[in-house]
Amino acid sequence: MTIASTRRTAVLLAAGTLILLPLTAYAAPQTKAKTIQVRAEYTEPAPAPNDVKCRGLGTSTPWCQAVFAGPVTFTGTIAGKAHAENAAPTTTGHHYDGPITFKRAVVKGCGVGSLILDISDGDFDLPDTRPSDASTGLSHKWRIRPGSGTGTLAGITGHGENRGRAFWTETGDRFGRGVHTGTITC
């Protein structure tokens, strides 16, 4: 028995009989992208500043900012432990937040893998620190960094906003709490 093939036909020669068989290309079933609504609550201990960055010290407009970096825990649509970097104020008087890096995130309806949220347009209202209301105080926009998703999160996209607060307790503890909302497509 001899078997040969071309791009479109398999040739089978068995017992002196020539048999031509059409080849059928197999294509994996297409998965349809789905968009889900995000509601991911987070808490983070607010560490003491671990760095100060200054620019323009030899100019008439010097500027410095405190840098905070530490763990943050997400629950909800995006769940997992991440590392976040914060700095304030920026040269425009705003708050910088990010990136938020997950080594392992669980995104409900999408899967599990690593993920990075890039942060922009952050604002921070320091005097407004009521623990009962996380609707204002801290805000920023977030976007999933293209190509950062791994595992079953490969190819994931998404964006939205965050609203939260920083709190100081009477015992001197500091922490942040808030919620990321938006959409993710996977």
What class, spelled out in words, does domain 35-185 have in CATH?
A: mainly beta
| pLDDT on residue 105 | 97
36-66 pLDDT, tens per residue? 999 999 888 765 667 777 777 777 777 676 6
21-30, 61-70, 77-86 — most confident range: 77-86
Return the half-sphere exposure (C-beta side, CA atoms, 13 A cut-off) of residue 162: 32
Q: What's the average model confidence in pLDDT over 21-35? A: 64
Domains of the chain by residue range:
35-185
Residues counted in the chain: 186
| pLDDT on residue 124 | 62
pTM attached to this predicted model: 0.69
| pLDDT on residue 120 | 80
At residue 44's C-alpha, the angle toward residues 73 and 42, to 5°, is 50
CB 178 within 8 A of CB 164: yes
Residue 151, SS3 per DSSP? helix
| pLDDT on residue 41 | 93
| pLDDT on residue 163 | 86
| pLDDT on residue 18 | 56
Nearest residue to 134 (alpha-carbon basis) of 166, 181, 100, 182:
166
Model confidence at 31: pLDDT above 70: no
Q: Which of 109-113, 124-128, 140-144 bottoms out in mean pLDDT, i.e. has the lowest?
A: 124-128
